[in-house]
Amino acid sequence: MNLEELKKSVRNIPDFPIPGIQFKDVTTLFKDSGNLKALTAELVKKYRNKGITKVVGIESRGFILGPIMALELGAGFVPIRKPGKLPAETFEETYEKEYGSDTIQIHKDALTSNDVVLIHDDLLATGGTMLAAYRLIKQMGVKNIYINFLIELEELKARELFPSGVEIDALIKFEI
């Protein structure tokens, strides 16, 4: 199975959830066992020799492939969640969206200075969510941070928001 075939399995839904958004529906990609196996193998390939100790998944679609990648890499899994969901003490980061702001949280004891972290989310659009996650984890003083997406919307150029030394990878690219 090649990447073009995987890309074709992503369903585009125009004007969802609001007019003007081309929503990339990954459920059509995940429901096929062959696709799921192939894309997992492709996703983890780049990280096999990086010494990843924790995969951090962002709520909620980062919780689908994040734990699978963690298992494949022999790493632990850590969730980043919306406010009020994590039960113990948290660090948080607030970021601006087009309308209003959003906050994400992580358990204070989820990561240590020995961790090599791979942050995963399903899709890079404006980059606001991942940038907040990156800042949150950076402040925790881990050894190294890698960033991974299943899909990148290239026209939005969100990669440019991140410091140049940060390794960012996306398996499937769409213009918009």
Residue span 58-97 as binding mask against ligand AMP, x where in contact by CB under 6 A, dash where not? ---x------------------------------------
Q: Taking the CA atoms of 157, 160, 162 and 165 in sequence, report the sign of the dihedral they define.
A: positive
Stretch that binds ligand AMP, among 40-48, 81-89, 106-114, 124-132 (CB under 6 A): 124-132
- DSSP conformational letter for 81: B
Does 127 bind ligand AMP (CB under 6 A)? Our answer is yes
Among 90, 122, 133, 137, binds ligand AMP (CB under 6 A): 122
Choose, by CB under 6 A, the member of 128, 138, 159, 161 that binds ligand AMP.
128
Site string for ligand AMP, 6-45 (x = CB under 6 A): ---------------xxxx---------------------
Of these residues, 61, 92, 159, 167, which one is catalytic?
A: 61
173: tokens are: 């690219």
The SS3 of residue 17 is coil
Residue 159 is a catalytic residue? no
What are residue 76's DSSP bridge partners? 54
Task: Assess 148 for contact with ligand AMP (CB under 6 A).
Answer: no
Does residue number 161 form part of the binding site for ligand AMP (CB under 6 A)? no
**Torsion on CA atoms 158, 138, 92, 78, rounded to nearest 10:** 90
Q: Is-contact 175 79, C-beta < 8 A?
A: no
Q: For 133, what's the count of Cα atoms within 13 Å in the CB-facing half-sphere?
A: 25
- Residue 9's SS3 state is coil
**Which residues are known catalytic residues?**
61, 98
